[in-house]
Chains A and B, each alone.
Chain A
Amino acid sequence: MLNLQGVHTFYGPIEALRGVTLDVAKGEIVTLIGANGAGKSTLLMTICGRPRAAEGSIRFDGEDITREETFSIIRRGIAQAPEGRRIFARLTVFENLQIGATVADPGHFASDIEKVFTLFPILRKRRDQRGGTLSGGEQQMLSIGRALMGRPRLLLLDEPSLGLAPMIVKQIFAAIAEINRAQGLTVLLVEQNAYHALRLAHRGYVMQTGRIVLSGSGAELLANPEVRAAYLEGGVHA
């Protein structure tokens, strides 16, 4: 479904991605783990065309999207819940979800919002509340819900567990598994919380300083001694 071939991205003179090749097949949850500054978020943003890849190609459903504008990439069916959630703070939860549905067919709105409210029941309660007054976990749920309102075929999630309590992280990961299972939605998940991400994902990639250094199934990577040493040290093993 999504295919990256030798992608290089620069921030000015700094090479953030140094030839990344990666595949996401339909219906999969793929996770990308790595330390701070490895280029994980840059990779997600490059898929959305901002910053644009300087070299290499990005294909979605076989079509080259490397040079497209962000909004037209999104209209092809890629949604992103961006890093830092980026909720519209003064707008209500409902309005946030409405804006998420910009690229979707208006006929689906009522059933789509019902699906989001079923997935994250707290959002129904918070419906008329301003986005900026939600807790971090609720904002993350809103960010994912908002992305889902666009009826994407591929969902990009940038560190959904960032800054959240373990309980909430569990809830959010359960929701991601649920949308993948029930709706067959393809997910590319960027995470620092390697343990949870690898348990959830079908496959995973490990990034280091702009390169993919390891890949394999979630279980393989979890068992890999290098991964354990680098990313799961002191983590939960049970």
Chain B
Amino acid sequence: MIAAAAPSPLPAALKEAAVAAVVALALAIPMVGFYTVDEGGSLVAKTRFDWVAIAVAAVFAGRLALALWPPAWRLKPRREPAHVAVDGRFTLMKFFGAAAVTVAVVLPFLPFTDRYIIDVATTVLIYVMLGWGLNIVVGLAGLLDLGYVAFYAVGAYSFALLARNFGLNFWECLPLAGIFAALFGVLLGFPVLRLRGDYLAIVTLGFGEMIRIVLVNWQSFTGGPNGLTSIPRPSFFGLPFTRTPEAGETAFHEFFGLEFSSYHRLAFLYFVILVLALITNAFTLRIRRLPVGRAWEALREDEIACRALGINPTNTKLTAFAIGAMFGGFAGSFFAARQGFISPESFTFIESALILAVVVLGGMGSQIGIVFAAILLVVLPEIAREFAELRMVLFGAAMIGIMVWRPHGLLSRRDPSILLPLPKATGAS
């Protein structure tokens, strides 16, 4: 079909860019236009309207460019294919997955890997694990949870308190922390069973804050805002990572006849979280094929149809909350063991938002997408560290970029939980 001569796009684009520029002006005057300096002990407000002009000009130019961008060049959000490819169905994803695991395993042994890299990689893996845990609740069961950090906190405090008060070690505490977090998951699950969508999100948000406020105020038990210090470090199956072990103990480097290096401990922690994360992934992939996992996905699609098919939505939702929370608890106790110090500061809402961003940017329900998103969201602010105060601006810009070009997340494809060989009757395509 030949389109009627389209009106020249320029006036419309100019108008759009002007509106954007006005908004930018209104935002930039208070946020960029004024800054404070310390002059002889007193704060003085100074202005820098040249910066405002630059910001407004940049927004105008950017918006204009976006509006005039030829439609043919625009990236289109991809839709899920109707038919699942028969040949090489998961091969690309499998390849990515295998490559990612290989890189993750050899990373600590690579020559250029230093303490900093391993530290960032550990943080990435914590978020991967949290993302995979939250994905069970949000991606599979479709329950929007804005308070996931609560379970992370429960896991961290469970480990810290059990270790300090009862002298239990990391490996003994890990399952207990998971159980406690799962119990809190059920505790949150019960009151929100009837809620959906926005309402559910608000209540879970409140729950996350409640946990944090209890942690801040229950001074005698949790140490309040001062947090808990001297949390024991995990040992390598009884071998501590210390330069000079206590009498009767053998340190890790002595046992293996290595030069002492604090890098060993970091590398060990890295492998612990790698294994925990891989367990989370294996668990999720497996449970998707079981009736309960299928019921989660069905519940996400249509709760009424689920009821009509004899699925008990109460139990289904509670298991999703409990299992998602359990993995959050595992990650939390790892976090406490790694930091050696925890305080309520680490479990604020922004943390929940970040985990949710990992899941949403990754493409809800996509396991490998979550890995990419976690890398992006942890590494990007690290790279942007050099830009100091513009760090969060870059971060925000990257998030907007992703949402513009990949509105359904980096990888939004849902792979079927089961595919059988094609029946002969229809023949392979």
Physical interaction between A and B: yes
Binding site for B on A (CB under 8 A): 48, 50, 69-72, 74-75, 79-80, 82, 86-92, 94-95, 98-100, 102-103, 124-125, 127-130, 133, 146-147, 150
B420 near A129 with CB under 8 A, answer no
A102 near B310 with CB under 8 A, answer yes
Closest to B365 in A: A90
Q: Does B295 contact A (CB under 8 A)?
A: yes
Given A98-B418, A124-B423, A128-B419, the answer on whether A133 and B82 have CB atoms closer than 8 Å is yes
Residues of A contacting B420 with CB < 8 Å? 94, 127
Residues of A contacting B426 with CB < 8 Å? 124-125
Residues of A contacting B423 with CB < 8 Å? 124, 127
- Stretch of B50-58, B110-118, B175-183, B296-304 at the chain-chain interface: B296-304
Closest to B312 in A: A71
Residues of B contacting A80 with CB < 8 Å? 308
Interface residues of B in 258-313 (CB under 8 A from A): 291, 294-295, 297-298, 301-302, 304-313
Q: Which of B80, B301, B419, B426 has the most CB of A within 10 A?
A: B301
Residues of A contacting B394 with CB < 8 Å? none
Once bound together, how far apart are the Cα atoms of A125 and B307, in whole Å?
27
- Name the one of A70, A87, A91 contacting B297, with C-beta atoms under 8 angstroms: A91
Residues of A contacting B425 with CB < 8 Å? 124
Residues of B contacting A129 with CB < 8 Å? 82-84
Interface size class of B (residues with CB under 8 A): 20 to 34
Once bound together, how far apart are the Cα atoms of A146 and B305, in whole Å?
10
A99 near B309 with CB under 8 A, answer yes
Known: A99-B298, A128-B83. 12 other contacts (CB 8 A): A71-B310, A74-B307, A74-B309, A75-B310, A79-B309, A86-B308, A88-B301, A90-B80, A91-B298, A94-B420, A102-B295, A102-B311
Q: Does B417 contact A (CB under 8 A)?
A: yes
Q: Does B7 contact A (CB under 8 A)?
A: no
Smallest beta-carbon distance A113→chain B, Å: 10
Smallest beta-carbon distance B348→chain A, Å: 33
Once bound together, how far apart are the Cα atoms of A80 and B86, in whole Å?
32
* A/B interface sample: 15 pairs, CB < 8 A: A71-B307, A72-B312, A86-B304, A88-B297, A88-B305, A89-B301, A91-B297, A91-B416, A95-B297, A95-B418, A98-B418, A102-B294, A128-B83, A130-B84, A147-B309
Once bound together, how far apart are the Cα atoms of A107 and B263, in whole Å?
54
- Name the one of B86, B301, B306 contacting A128, with C-beta atoms under 8 angstroms: B86
B298 near A94 with CB under 8 A, answer no
Residues of A contacting B301 with CB < 8 Å? 88-91
Closest to B423 in A: A124
A95 near B80 with CB under 8 A, answer no
Once bound together, how far apart are the Cα atoms of A124 and B427, in whole Å?
12
Count of CB-CB pairs between chains A and B under 8 Å = 97
B294 near A98 with CB under 8 A, answer yes
B308 near A99 with CB under 8 A, answer no
Once bound together, how far apart are the Cα atoms of A91 and B293, in whole Å?
12
B416 near A86 with CB under 8 A, answer no
B307 near A50 with CB under 8 A, answer yes
Closest to A75 in B: B310
A88 near B298 with CB under 8 A, answer yes
Once bound together, how far apart are the Cα atoms of A92 and B415, in whole Å?
9
- Name the one of B302, B306, B311, B416 contacting A92, with C-beta atoms under 8 angstroms: B416
A70 near B291 with CB under 8 A, answer no
Smallest beta-carbon distance A104→chain B, Å: 9
Once bound together, how far apart are the Cα atoms of A147 and B308, in whole Å?
9
A94 near B309 with CB under 8 A, answer no
Closest to B291 in A: A102
Residues of A contacting B419 with CB < 8 Å? 92, 94, 128
Given A71-B310, A124-B426, the answer on whether A99 and B294 have CB atoms closer than 8 Å is yes
Smallest beta-carbon distance A223→chain B, Å: 35
Smallest beta-carbon distance A11→chain B, Å: 15
Once bound together, how far apart are the Cα atoms of A50 and B306, in whole Å?
13
Residues of B contacting A100 with CB < 8 Å? 309
Residues of A contacting B312 with CB < 8 Å? 69, 71-72
Smallest beta-carbon distance B74→chain A, Å: 24
Given A91-B297, A128-B416, A129-B83, the answer on whether A74 and B310 have CB atoms closer than 8 Å is yes
Residues of B contacting A133 with CB < 8 Å? 82
Smallest beta-carbon distance A144→chain B, Å: 12
- Name the one of B82, B302, B313 contacting A86, with C-beta atoms under 8 angstroms: B302
Once bound together, how far apart are the Cα atoms of A215 and B80, in whole Å?
48
Residues of B contacting A91 with CB < 8 Å? 297-298, 301, 416
Given A98-B418, A99-B298, A150-B310, the answer on whether A92 and B305 have CB atoms closer than 8 Å is no
Residues of B contacting A71 with CB < 8 Å? 307, 310-313
Closest to A94 in B: B418
A103 near B310 with CB under 8 A, answer yes
